[in-house]
Structure 1
Amino acid sequence: MDLLSFVVALVAVLIGAAGQRMIGMGWGLVVTPAVALVAGPLAAVLVVNLYGAIACLVILPRVWHDIDWRRLLWLLVPAVALMIPGLLLAKALDTDLLRVVVGVIAVAGVLVTMLITRSARRVDGPGVRIAAGSAIGVLNASVGMGAPIVGLYSLVSHWHDRTFVATMQPFWALVSGIIVAVRPFVAPEGAPDWPLWAWLVVAVPVVAGVLLGDRLAHLVNREVVRWAIIGLSIAGGIALIVTGGIALVS
């Protein structure tokens, strides 16, 4: 295991966990490109979902009373239904091609989000929620990048209040937990070749990031945090596109 790459992954986990607590997103946007770059896209799916579920479970007691259970079910059911196809897609694609796909999704998701932010029109309803949940299920299971779809849905539906932050915690805990549980039976390949101590160490920035985000949630400007996460997502996505593209043409 390359130590420098592992440190990069730890920093990404810390930032992603803090962002997840502060604004309800940021985990997948930051951690997936970083881990995919240093350990491979298949490894990123496992790492992002495993520790993402842990991060959300740590956050959950703090936001329990603000959860929108009705909207949670609208997103969760189609997300769970499309997980198996997503895992099979990841298993079928070439590793370097998958790396490029993750990068493109990261960058495109951010750019579309920025464009939609300018629109004042609210778009929501059962169809939109089912479509969003389905896309999240496929993308999170295949490339660990369901987060951009969550961002898009929150923007088009104008769902920006504290219930969004709260509802995303049980949503990601369940989605990620189920993916981790079924992955060994559908796509067991691609787990990071880390020693036991490394798996335990990664849990430290997860908890530290949540605690840091909890302390800063009421102090920092949410838009500043959002734009910081957007910048990191674009940088990580471009890095994945470049490395995957070079490997494909070489």
Structure 2
Amino acid sequence: MLIFSAISVVLGSISQRVAGLGFALLVAPVFVLTFGPYDGVVLINYAGTLSSVVVLMRLWKDVNWRTYLALGPPAALAIIPTSYVVVNFQGPGLQIAIGLIVIAGLTLVLSRPKVTKQITPRWWVTMVAGGAAGVTSATAGVGAPPMGIYAAATGWPQREFAATLQPVFITTGATSFLTKVSFAGGLPSFHWSIWVGVLVLSAVGLSLGEVVKNLISGNTARTIAFALCYLGATMATIDGLLQYFFTTGTALPG
């Protein structure tokens, strides 16, 4: 699974550079299977934050900071209690929850018709979207589904959307990482090579993304990321269910 994790980091970093999202979507299900539902998500929060920092430097001029200020603080506030729950609720149940959250989020993104004309949402709609991104980031390591739903509902232009996502993801990733480490009393016990390896592979993927962005569109990269994420989330959910029934001895009905 380490090889699949390495590949997912590279592909996720490429998608992040091309489409503005995709790192956590691609990496989350694989990391959950490889490192476990808690440690895997902590690692995603760490790597996703740094990946978004690099992409933000490229897309800085297109960021809508006013929208970010409406999304970021609610996301950070929602993360604090969610991280506490996650730290104290680990095991197969958390893995199943992560898989279902990702699948449900992506399904809502893809099934909701996109508004062709940009509209200005009510302030509380933006705050709810930010809070939802915080909850899913702390729980499953992915903040993209709520942001995708918000973008589709408001007709948010792709260029500005992709750029503004980066500071949002930095906020959700860093807050999720720091709060979970604080509540848990320390970092997950990974070998130092895992922490460094994720950074190196992310750098490779982002560098490749500079080339790939001239070959495929952001929409194509996003579609590929969604498809692979569906597959990974389904596998993670099934694996969590198998662990649950085998470790608890619970029998399937019938």
Of 2, 9, 12, which residue of structure 2 is paired with 1:6? 2
1:223 offset after TM fit, Å? 2.6
Equivalent pair of 2:82/2:138 in contact (CA under 8 Å) = yes
Q: 1:190 to 1:177 in 2, by over 3 A?
A: closer
Structure 2 residue 209 is matched with structure 1 residue 213? yes
Counterpart of 1:125? 122
Counterpart of 1:99? 95
Between the aligned partners of 1:171 and 1:211, the Cα distance in structure 2 is: 22
1:190 offset after TM fit, Å? 7.5
Structure 2: stretches of 5+ with no match in the other structure: 247-254
1:112 offset after TM fit, Å? 1.3
Counterpart of 2:249? none
Aligned-partner residue type, residue 142 of structure 1: T
- Per-residue CA deviations over 1:111-141 (Å, capped at 9, x if unaligned) read 1111103665866331211111111112211
Between the aligned partners of 1:169 and 1:6, the Cα distance in structure 2 is: 27
Counterpart of 1:84? 80
Counterpart of 1:151? 148
Between the aligned partners of 1:151 and 1:185, the Cα distance in structure 2 is: 29
1:143 offset after TM fit, Å? 2.3
1:215 offset after TM fit, Å? 2.3
Equivalent pair of 2:143/2:172 in contact (CA under 8 Å) = no
Between the aligned partners of 1:207 and 1:94, the Cα distance in structure 2 is: 31
Counting matched residue pairs gives: 245
Alignment of 1:1-250 (within 5 A): 5-117=1-113, 124-188=121-185, 191=188, 193-250=189-246
- Identify which range, 225-234 or 170-179, moves more after superposition: 170-179
Report the identity percentage.
Answer: 27
Q: 1:71 to 1:13 in 2, by over 3 A?
A: same
Between the aligned partners of 1:233 and 1:106, the Cα distance in structure 2 is: 8
Please give the TM-score of this superposition, normalised by the length of structure 2: 0.89
Between the aligned partners of 1:214 and 1:73, the Cα distance in structure 2 is: 28
Please give the TM-score of this superposition, normalised by the length of structure 1: 0.91
Structure 1: stretches of 5+ with no match in the other structure: none
Between the aligned partners of 2:101 and 2:61, the Cα distance in structure 1 is: 33
Between the aligned partners of 1:92 and 1:195, the Cα distance in structure 2 is: 23
Counterpart secondary structure, 1:220: coil
